[in-house]
A and B are shown apart, each in its own frame.
Chain A
Amino acid sequence: MTPDDRSPSEQDELDELSGLSRRSFLKGAGGGVVAGALAGGLAQPSTSEGVVPQEASAPGASTVSLSGRHQIALQVNGEQVLVDVEPQTTLLGALRHHVSPPMTGTKEVCDRGSCGACTVIVDGRPVYSCMQLADDMPGHAIRTIEGIGTPDDLSPVQEEFCRFDGLMCGFCTPGFIVASTACLEKHGAPDVDTIKRELSGNVCRCGTQTHIIRAVQAAGESGVLKGER
């Protein structure tokens, strides 16, 4: 069935169903409208499945309407990545499900901005990738766990996590590593209170928090600053 087969009312209903609740929640506006300032960064999306982006009808309002699958270009760990997304696709969803090959280091735990497992660095700041729409991300520099060290070449904070056992099951760990990296880049050698504050948006259930705090402190004290290794 193509969109043309449907009656207008049915199409409206389906547009509603296409998961716009998250958009409404994030933007305070329904109807698949992205505010112009945010859409400004959109790299000319090509259309892979009957798609739009088009200027909204309201004169002067710099907005675009999106529906269906379309391609955007993300800048991830210094490389341009073309990815097919839907309007409701989050940055987390794009990384985990739509980038090829998938980047599954960033974890989905709550999918609503309350656990930090999906933390990535956007333009130098840690953000919850589950609370960012993929369509808002072109033009922004995204760093994920995959861009911070490898098993054979760990970053200083990754080394300290291993040394102090700042991980157990490991599911929260990528989010903590990314948030810790952002913390170290911002503060250099942060004190314990600063570390606690900067990592307060990340949740761990196994109970590694005190070891994580020590690991971040040690990484800061080792003097390897500002992330460039």
Chain B
Amino acid sequence: MTSARNRPEWGSNDTHALLNSDIPRVDGPEKVTGRAIYTHDIRLPQMVYARLVVCPYPRAKIKSQSYRKARKVPGVVHGAPFKEVGDSIAFQGADGVVGAIVAETPEAAAAGLCGVKIDYEVLEPVVTPEDALAPGAPVVGRRGNVTGLSSSGDRAEVEAALSECAAVVRGTFRVPVQHHVSLETHGVVVDYRGGNEATVYFSTQGVTGSNREFASHLDLPSENVRVVAHNVGGGFGAKFGGGIEGRIACELALELRRPVHLMLTREDEFLMAGNRSGSEQRVIAGASRDGVFKALAVEADRHGGVGRGALPTPPYIYSVGNTYSEIRSVHTATDSSRAMRAPGHPQASFAMESVLDELAYGINMDPVEFRKKNLADPVYHRQLDRVAKEIGWLEHPHRTQPGVPENALAVGIGFGVAIWGSRSRDITVVDVRIGPDGSVLAATGVQDIGQGARTLVAAIVAEELGLAAHEVSTDIGDSRLPPSVASGGSVTTGSLGPSVKDGAFNARVELAKRIAPMLDAEPEEIRFADHRVFVEGDSGRSVSWKQACASLGKDPLQVSGRFQPHLRDQGIHGAQAAKVEVDLLTGRVTVLKMVSIQDQGLPLNRMAIRSQMNGGMIQALSFALFEERVLDKKTGLMLSGNLENYKIAGCGEMPELVAIIDDEDTREAVMGMAEASNIPGHSAIGNAIYNACGLRLREMPFTPARVLQAKGGMS
């Protein structure tokens, strides 16, 4: 929108010249040709490669250790322990980092690692919640193995309500620990060669302010440390602080006065780079004969290792007459959980959507109708209706009872809904510079972790000035740029978009003031579209974009944009449906189709939003069918610590995906949506399995073994 107002407005969602369309990523060409440089790819003169020495056991004591042979390996420049003989390892992950090897080449560092000899006394591992809760179990955390107990609601009232319900279901729902599996592992390249300044290349979701952490490690003034993250190979919630690897790289750089490249190996990444906490939820739920969700009691454990874990307080999304809940953290000696795309929500969704389904079938009611009956917000009604239509629910043969398969293959459909706050922060400043040569540069410290932040910045500025997105250059991912927000919790769009719009608006208004006399018009009459600057209602009075910029003379036009709260909103919904085929002979589940609908106010870049929705569905499919951290109960060794043992969904598992942008959300404001799209997919798949064949799987992932086990238990 280029109409002259005294403050920026997005305008009606259906009147955009560029936004609210499919905008190809401006960094696409760099990325598809391998030219985009990530932290892993940084190469500097005199740079050395560091590898961490990692104890594979969750709990152990160092009986003896020697780095002598490691230091003799040609090319190794440094090798030293961080712990002494007699020291303990208290948990798997950061506390298991017992030393480091630094070498001239990655090969020499790996060889050096082979030369480190450590004898561990392996202690009782405490890697399962059962082990942690057993009488006399070793205490894992400082405050015991059970912490953070909170309860809400009145148990007696719930029990009274349950006694009046027509359908009551009970079940224990187990969600395994899931890994983020960012393809670029965590790590840094610390460029410190002595002196008073340093540059840190950092694979992170939060560039702005991260220089303070590294400055503290390097004992430098924070303004002397620059952090760069021009491209980031995924994060999904695990890449905020610098972590132990960031601290160690700084210490090594301080000691060696050479740039240190320390990227975790894939195995290290699985051991110490965070995870989505698992959970066990013991649920009793009841509904009346006419489909009202009357009562819910939940006892839940968060399995966040030495971390707290995450789980929202029940009831989750739905309205329930009476709810009682008790939630606590059960700690094991394993890596701390971190935020992961909608922390806690997929776990809660699995239990809640599963019992809802069971209640619906328990009273012979269509589970879509049952959901609508217990969701007050009408947005969910239209979204559920839309995905039901798109997945083929209305033609589906069995909608109030599961199918009774006549042959080995059974097809079913299931549903789930989502919720997310999509809040924003008032922090982002965007500098916009227009050069006399017609060049435009937008600069802010935000990072592109794959969500398309760089394209969002370019597109908002381009639309305001009547240009194409690729004609606006961007400078992002640098702590020395004006501040922006860390990318987590779907806050980027809502926090960044308004500041970019404000900067673009200010640039347009300022340029209009300069051009107006040339066109014999008032600044308020000047419009920008299709590479032209013209007077409203008189296209004869116009100049090209280049001519307009040339009139700036020698100096570029420079303005800034700040957060404008009226340009963002918050609070989103979302619904998903899944159609599966269950092979009852082999237990194999194949997802045939998934549908996702998402509201998010003004869809800035429709293609990027569909990609986020696809990503949410694919990650949910992968979580539902394949993903599970496996630790050996006796030793605590990780058995799933690389991609051949921790499978994630690939091209071969891709169903038909339908990503629908909910254009009935006409809010003229922006907000993020990535978390919501990752919440209900696996629940819908679990419900589809039940709808197909009547097998209720209460433990993820839904492997062939679990399907066959459930089938065996049924007969």
Tell me if B25 and A212 are in contact (CB < 8 A): no
Contact of B234 among A98, A115, A169 (CB under 8 A): A169
- CB-CB under 8 A from B32, the residues of chain A are 149, 154, 158, 161-162, 166-167, 170, 173-174, 177
CB 8 Å contact bits of B183-212 with A (1 = contact, 0 = none): 111000000000000000000000000000
Complex Cα distance, B27 from A13, in Å, reads: 48
Contact with B along A100-111 (1 / 0, CB 8 A): 011011111111
B643: which A residues are within 8 A, CB to CB? 109-110, 112, 114-115, 203
Contact B34 A213 (CB under 8 A): no
- CB of A132 within 8 Å of the partner chain: no
Interface residues on A, range: 35 or more
Q: Verify B24–A165 contact, CB threshold 8 A.
A: yes
Over the window 1-37 of chain B, the binary record of Cβ atoms lying under 8 Å from chain A Cβ atoms (1 yes, 0 no) is 0000000000000000000001011011111111111
- Pair A151/B614 contact, Cβ less than 8 Å: no
Which A181-201 residues have C-beta < 8 A from chain B? 195-197, 199-201
Known: A93-B106, A108-B40, A158-B32. A211 touches B183 (CB 8 A): no
Whether A169 touches B181, Cβ cut-off 8 Å, given contacts A162-B32, A207-B617, is: no
CB-CB contacts of B69-84 with A at 8 A, as 1s and 0s?
1101110000000000
Which of A102, A145, A165, A169 touches B608 (beta carbons < 8 Å)? A165
Are the C-beta atoms of A145 and B111 separated by less than 8 Å? no
Whether, in the assembled complex, A221 has its beta carbon less than 8 Å from a beta carbon of chain B, the answer is no
Q: Within the assembled complex, what's the spacing in Å between the Cα atoms of A146 and B29?
A: 12
Cβ distance B257 to chain A, nearest Cβ, rounded Å: 21
Contacts A86-B107, A104-B34 given: A170-B231 contact, CB under 8 Å?
yes
CB pair B33 A149 closer than 8 Å: yes
Tell me the bound Cα distance from A150 to B34 in angstroms: 9
Q: Is the interface of A mostly helix, strand, loop or mixed?
A: loop
Q: How large is the interface on B (under 10, 10 to 19, 20 to 34, 35 or more residues)?
A: 35 or more
Which residues of the partner chain B approach A170 to less than 8 Å between Cβ atoms? 27, 31-32, 36, 231, 233, 450
Contact B614–A163 (Cβ < 8 Å): no
Q: Is the CB of B651 within 8 A of A107?
A: no
Determine the distance from Cα of A144 to Cα of B37 in the docked complex, in whole angstroms. Answer: 16
Query: Which chain A residue shows the least CB distance to B38?
Result: A171
Whether a CB of chain B sits under 8 angstroms from the CB of A21 is yes
Query: How far, in whole Å, are A135 and B450 apart by their CA atoms in the complex?
Result: 36
Interchain CB contact under 8 A, B114 and A19: yes
Q: How far, in angstroms, from A202 to B105 measured CA to CA in the complex?
A: 27
A88 to B108, CA, bound (A): 10
- A163 & B618 in contact (Cβ 8 Å cutoff): no
- Per the 8 Å Cβ criterion, residues 53-101 of A in contact with B are 68, 86, 88-89, 93, 96-98, 101
Decide if A18 is an interface residue (CB 8 Å cutoff).
yes
Q: How many Å from the CB of B675 to the closest CB on chain A?
A: 14
Residues of B within 8 A of A1 (CB): 72
Check: A117 CB closer than 8 A to any chain B CB. Answer: yes
A26 within 8 A of B: no
Tell me if A209 is interfacial: C-beta within 8 Å of chain B.
yes
| Alpha-carbon separation in the docked complex, A105 to B74 (Å) | 28
**In the complex, chain B residues whose CB is within 8 Å of the CB of A29:** none
CA distance A203 to B107 in the complex (A): 25
* Cβ < 8 Å to A, chain B residues 300-315: none
A196: chain B residues at CB < 8 Å are 651-652, 654
Contacts A162-B32, A167-B28, A207-B619 given; indicate if A202 touches B43 (C-beta within 8 A). Answer: no
Cβ contacts under 8 Å, A168 to chain B: 234, 450-452, 611, 615
Q: Which residue of A lies closest to B606 (CB)?
A: A165
B99-142 interface (Cβ within 8 A of A)? 105-108, 110-112, 114-115
A123 at the interface (CB under 8 A from B): no
Task: Tell yes or no: A206 within 8 A of B by CB.
Answer: yes
Q: Which residues of A contact B619 (CB under 8 A)?
A: 205, 207
Indicate which residue in A10, A68, A96, A110 contacts B266 across the interface (CB closer than 8 Å).
A110
> Which of A86, A150, A166, A207 touches B618 (beta carbons < 8 Å)?
A207
Indicate if B449 sits at the interface (CB-CB under 8 A).
yes
In the bound complex, what is the Cα–Cα distance between A148 and B608 (angstroms)?
25
What is the CA–CA distance of A68 and B617 in the complex, to the nearest angstrom? 49
Known: A98-B105, A209-B618. 17 other contacts (CB 8 A): A86-B108, A88-B107, A105-B34, A110-B644, A111-B266, A112-B643, A145-B33, A151-B33, A152-B29, A154-B33, A165-B611, A169-B234, A170-B32, A177-B34, A200-B651, A202-B651, A211-B614
> Chain A interface (Cβ within 8 Å of chain B)?
1, 6, 10, 13-14, 16-19, 21, 68, 86, 88-89, 93, 96-98, 101-102, 104-115, 117, 144-146, 148-152, 154, 158, 161-163, 165-174, 177, 195-197, 199-213
Which 3 A-B residue pairs are closest in the complex by CB-CB distance?
A105-B34, A207-B615, A169-B450
